[in-house]
Chains A and B, each alone.
Chain A
Amino acid sequence: MKIFNLKLKNKLVFFNALTKTTIVTLLLILVPWLAGEITRQDTDKELLQKLDKVLTIIETDGINSFIDQNAELKAFGSYNIIKAEFVSIEQLERDTLIDEIQFSQRNIEDEIIDYRVLSYSLKKEGKTYLIEIGKSMDDIYKFEQKLKSYAVIFLIIILLITLLIDLVFIQFLLKPMDKIISKLHNMKNPVNFDFSNIASKTTDFVYLDQSINALMHKIERAFISEREYIGNVSHELLTPISIIRTKLDNIMLSKSLAEADMIKIVEAKQTLHRLTHLVRSLLVMSRIENEEYLLNEKVNINVLIDEVINEINDKILFKGLILERNETKTTFNFTGNKQLLFTMIYNIINNSIRYTEVGSITIISEISKDGFMLNITDTGIGMISNQTEQLFLRHKSFSQEIDSFGIGLTLTKKIADYHKISISVKSEIKKGTIIILSFPHSTNSNV
Chain B
Amino acid sequence: MRILIVEDEKELANEIRDFLVSEKYNCDVAHTGKEASEMIAFNPYDFILLDLGLPDYLGLDLLQEAKKHNPESYIIIITARNEIEDKIIGLNSGADDYLAKPFSILELLSRIQAISRRKFGYKTSKIQFGNFNLDTIKKTLQYNNQIIELTSKEFKLLNYLVLNRNRILDRLQLMEHVWGDFFEEDYDSNYIDVHIKNIRKKLLTYDQKQWIKTVRGIGYKFEITD
Contacts and interface: CB of A to CB of B under 8 A. Distances in A.
Given A242-B12, A246-B19, A269-B172, A346 B182 contact: yes
A245 B102 contact: yes
Nearest to A236: B80
B217 A314 contact: no
A221 interface: no
B102 A238 contact: yes
Main SS at interface, chain A: helix
Contacts of A278: 185
Contacts of B215: 259
A239 B9 contact: yes
B102 A266 contact: no
A384 interface: no
A273 B187 CA distance: 10
Contacts of A408: 184-185
A63 to B, nearest CB: 122
B15 A250 contact: yes
B82 A280 contact: yes
From B12, B106, B216, residue with most partner A Cβ within 10 Å: B12
Interface residues of B, number: 43
Contacts of A402: 186
Interface string A217-253: 0000000000000000001001101111111011011
Contacts, number: 104
A338 B87 CA distance: 14
Contacts of A245: 102-104
Interface in B176-226: 176, 182-187, 190-191, 194-195, 215-219
A403 interface: yes
Contacts of A339: 83-84
B191 A262 contact: no
From B82, B105, B153, B219, residue with most partner A Cβ within 10 Å: B105
A242 B102 contact: yes
Contacts of B9: 239, 242-243
A272 B101 CA distance: 12
B18 interface: yes
Contacts of B217: 259, 263, 266
B186 A266 contact: no
A337 B190 CA distance: 32
Contact of A249 (B83, B105, B218): B105
Given A238-B102, A252-B168, A280-B82, A246 B12 contact: yes
Given A402-B186, A403-B186, A404-B185, A266 B218 contact: yes
B26 interface: no
A249 B80 contact: no
Nearest to B23: A253
B92 interface: no
B194 A246 contact: no
Contacts of A238: 80, 101-102
From A235, A249, A270, A280, residue with most partner B Cβ within 10 Å: A249
A21 interface: no
Contacts of B103: 242, 245
From A277, A294, A314, A318, residue with most partner B Cβ within 10 Å: A314
B19 A274 contact: no
B106 A266 contact: no
A339 B9 CA distance: 29
Interface string A353-375: 00000000000000000000000
Contact of A250 (B18, B182, B184): B18
B169 to A, nearest CB: 9
B158 interface: no
From A239, A241, A276, A402, residue with most partner B Cβ within 10 Å: A239
A314 B101 contact: no
A407 B184 CA distance: 10
A259 B9 CA distance: 30
B151 interface: yes
Contacts of A270: 172
A250 B19 contact: yes
Contacts of A235: 80-81
A274 B185 contact: yes
A357 to B, nearest CB: 12
A278 B185 CA distance: 7
Contacts of A287: 83
A241 B182 contact: no
Given A243-B9, A250-B18, A314-B153, A350 B184 contact: yes
Contacts of B172: 266, 269-270, 273
B15 A241 contact: no
B15 A246 contact: yes
A405 B185 contact: yes
Contact of B170 (A252, A312, A318, A346): A252
B219 A239 contact: no
Contacts of B12: 239, 242-243, 246
Interface of A: 235, 238-239, 241-247, 249-250, 252-253, 259, 262-263, 266, 269-270, 272-274, 276-278, 280-281, 283, 287, 294, 311-312, 314-315, 318, 338-339, 346, 350, 402-405, 407-408
Given A242-B12, A274-B185, 18 more contacts: A238-B80, A238-B101, A239-B12, A243-B11, A244-B102, A246-B12, A246-B15, A247-B11, A249-B104, A250-B18, A253-B167, A266-B170, A276-B102, A278-B185, A312-B182, A314-B151, A314-B191, A405-B185
Please give me the 7 A-B residue pairs with the lowest Cβ-Cβ distance, nearest first. A277-B185, A242-B102, A245-B102, A246-B15, A238-B80, A242-B101, A339-B84
19 contacts: A238-B102, A239-B101, A242-B80, A242-B102, A246-B12, A246-B15, A246-B105, A249-B106, A253-B167, A262-B168, A266-B170, A266-B217, A312-B182, A314-B195, A315-B191, A318-B191, A339-B83, A339-B84, A405-B186
